[in-house]
Structure 1
């Protein structure tokens, strides 16, 4: 039987993934960085302790962005236990162990076949809908939208 990979996520699926990830550290941080802050998979897994300024609540990779609340506290827990040059996440995203953990997380959330990069697309689509409703773009997305206005595509199935 051929495995089906899904590239688009609904809002409900994103919520289920966030809920499942919250119980599987450090996946809660990975999902939040992609959905809420717009980082790509490779950008998330390339983060080093020195990229996080926990005093001012900023990440400096690939651009300076503010983080706060629960995400800041979760980042603090991950970063403070590591050397500044060490990766925040122990492995690169394309390693078999990470891919296996992601597959297990998607099964747990009832979203089998979801691709990790779809999280960023889902976040961008949500931000675009919020922008359409309010006329104010999320700061993390404003620069992305200026560089690649067509990137959101049809990332969200309603």
Structure 2
């Protein structure tokens, strides 16, 4: 019986210990920002992933990288203290077509395996259809 209590106490303390540390919780539950349908001419392509450190230690973001050069992320330089918020800005180059990109955040967060968190952006960049004034005038005159 004493051995069982000793094993239970060790297991409980190791579980408690594993849960302490920095924890990152993003505002968007699925870690995805949907651009929707946007026009290159009217949208800068800049979006922000907002997060909070819900742990009990400073959160340190060591690296943020994208799957391609068309998406440029920027990370906070200072540690995020427990209970405080931060953001990771992402700038997409707004090339026409579908947006399906992943950004990987590397940190000391204990609530993600290895501290690595995948973020996603999705949407579609459309080209505004331009109306040629001369064509429009010809169409109106022929009616």
Instruction: Assess same fold via TM > 0.5.
Output: no
Q: Which has the larger radius of gyration?
A: 2
Q: Which of 1 and 2 has higher RCO (CA within 8 Å, sep 6+)? A: 1
Structure with greater helix share of residues: 1
- Normalised TM-score (structure 2): 0.22
Structure with the higher strand share, 1 or 2 = 2
Give the TM-score taking structure 1 as reference length: 0.21
